[in-house]
Structure 1
């Protein structure tokens, strides 16, 4: 990892220039130290050099950024960031034929990985995942490959084409992959921390972990508690950690009722001992709140939206309100 001065020396691009690119386009995407200083990876440096070369050959920076995103398969709008596990999961894989947006080059990996996983063959799936990660960024692969794979396998299960065991095997494979990326993102470092948990009885944690990965890569500290978290233990963690924000996730009707109960308990005055006048935010999401929007009225907290961009935007707003300033850029890397 390299500090700003080292990046300037290695690329020849002034710091003010690539920081302006970061503010405007979310590129490059440095990590943050505990003191909120930028640290750049080799990939960041290579990207800055490439952007310098494109602009020196006559491209505008916006044209170069657009070309980079097309090559990465990352064509999502950049007007705002963006749910606990819903980025319209097949969007990246289904863009072909929409008339004005080319298909993501990552889409070709979806059927290969899907077929391997339903055959319980992680050995065959692994090289495709690694190749996808080499071509696209972490967020693009998660949203345009791994989520569509799970969506396709879920649809095959619903049609009776694969059994529960194949669905579980595939889900655990994807969960392990996202978990590895999450651990590499240094979630112990950053502003917050944000506590994240699936409520008691909720076992589907891929969506929540995905959002936590994106938030960690954007410079937030994350205390990730995972699936099926008993309310008493969650409340004790909140008292101990005193987070500025909690993220809760549920995907079933029973889970939604458990989440609503948890939100009422956690929203009580004094739920986090020592919390100052800046209020702790409860953010929540999950597929059940998208399909049954009336359930949102039972929850004390902020609904995080229908996709990853909306969720991250909601977290950014809450954290900006808590700290009085935006801690990280406002778009998905």
Structure 2
């Protein structure tokens, strides 16, 4: 159940009623409308604004977030991740979201803007400037759905910085700073996605020795937003601790990731060992294993040795594979 799902969506309240109920000046939420596309009130034949109960509740929620220290842009971006019913019916229709062509391409202006934001974010992270990087993410969230911001901004930025590190153009401190920034950003979005509710739960972890968690965390964010409950155990987890957690929550699927060949070898071993540690118990079958990561993308032959299902090359394909695998089980 979303924050405002039980509230009525019919636009019946005038501007004065919104001010009276929220305490937010009309000039303020009209400024939000002009700059961020929210709220998106209906209009009468006389061009007067009319707001719904959902609009009023969302305006009050945004008021509380800005009073707590968020910028209004950040608050609206978080509202989109937190409240799909409002964002689907109100925010998303108001913001100038791109029209995707049948081949998945974006309009030239949007594509160019996203390329610019990638450059800005890379330069900011190389300069250890989290504030500028954060503004780039915030602007992207106003242009694209969250999943596409992850795939078309944050992930390519990390790849570019990793390649610069490999060429010796930046130090490992830059790579660590950039990874930490993205982990914090994705982690905050993940926490807002209500990962404790939904189908499952699914358990996700990187095994002991594997510290590269960004790809796994992105997949968990995507799955949570698709309605799955996620028990996220993070990096560097011993196998027996993983088995205990899976057994306790009776997860139907375990998500594992490996970025390097040594980590992939450990994942291969774990995929077979988990079958021994987690035998079928009555009506609860041995959980399936879904795996991915850079090591398996670079060398697909490694995946042939895993007792599990390769999820795909990015968080979106992984989410689709999880849906398909669980639907067939």
TM-score by length of 1: 0.70
Q: Radius of gyration: which is bigger?
A: 2
> 1:107-122, aligned counterparts within 5 Å?
107-122=115-130
Unaligned runs of 5+ in 2: 13-40, 43-79
CA shift at 1:266, angstroms?
1.4
Q: Note closer, same or farther for the CA distance 1:300–1:162 as it changes in structure 2 (3 Å cut).
A: same
Which of 131, 146, 149 aligns to 1:123? It is 131
Which of 128, 137, 140 aligns to 1:132? It is 140
Structure 2 Cα separation of the partners of residues 113 and 139 of structure 1? 17
Which of 45, 51, 54 aligns to 2:89? It is 45
**1:192 aligns to what SS in structure 2?**
strand
Alignment of 1:276 with 2:278, yes or no, is no
**2:151 aligns to what SS in structure 1?**
helix
Bigger relative contact order, structure 1 or 2, given CA contacts below 8 A and separation 6+? 1
Question: 2:308 maps to which residue?
Answer: 301
**1:144 aligns to what SS in structure 2?**
helix
Alignment of 1:169 with 2:177, yes or no, is yes
CA shift at 1:274, angstroms?
3.8
Q: Note closer, same or farther for the CA distance 1:287–1:96 as it changes in structure 2 (3 Å cut).
A: farther
2:239 and 2:270 in contact (8 A); partners too: yes
Encode CA deviations 1:213-271: one digit per residue, 9 max, x unaligned. Answer: 00001100000011111111111111111101100000111101110111001123x60
Question: 1:291 maps to which residue?
Answer: 298
Comparing both structures, which one devotes a greater share of its residues to helix? Answer: 2
Alignment of 1:256 with 2:300, yes or no, is no
Structure 2 Cα separation of the partners of residues 304 and 214 of structure 1? 13
TM-score by length of 2: 0.71
Question: 1:64 maps to which residue?
Answer: none
Q: Note closer, same or farther for the CA distance 1:300–1:7 as it changes in structure 2 (3 Å cut).
A: farther
Question: 1:3 maps to which residue?
Answer: 5
Structure 2 Cα separation of the partners of residues 111 and 40 of structure 1? 30
Question: 2:48 maps to which residue?
Answer: none
Encode CA deviations 1:292-328: one digit per residue, 9 max, x unaligned. Answer: 1111121100111223332112100122124xxxxxx
Q: Note closer, same or farther for the CA distance 1:292–1:243 as it changes in structure 2 (3 Å cut).
A: same
Q: Note closer, same or farther for the CA distance 1:277–1:232 as it changes in structure 2 (3 Å cut).
A: closer
CA RMSD between the two structures:
3.1
1:150 and 1:170 in contact (8 A); partners too: yes
The number of residue pairs the alignment matches comes to: 263
Structure 1 Cα separation of the partners of residues 210 and 155 of structure 2? 19
Q: Note closer, same or farther for the CA distance 1:232–1:77 as it changes in structure 2 (3 Å cut).
A: farther
**1:155 aligns to what SS in structure 2?**
helix
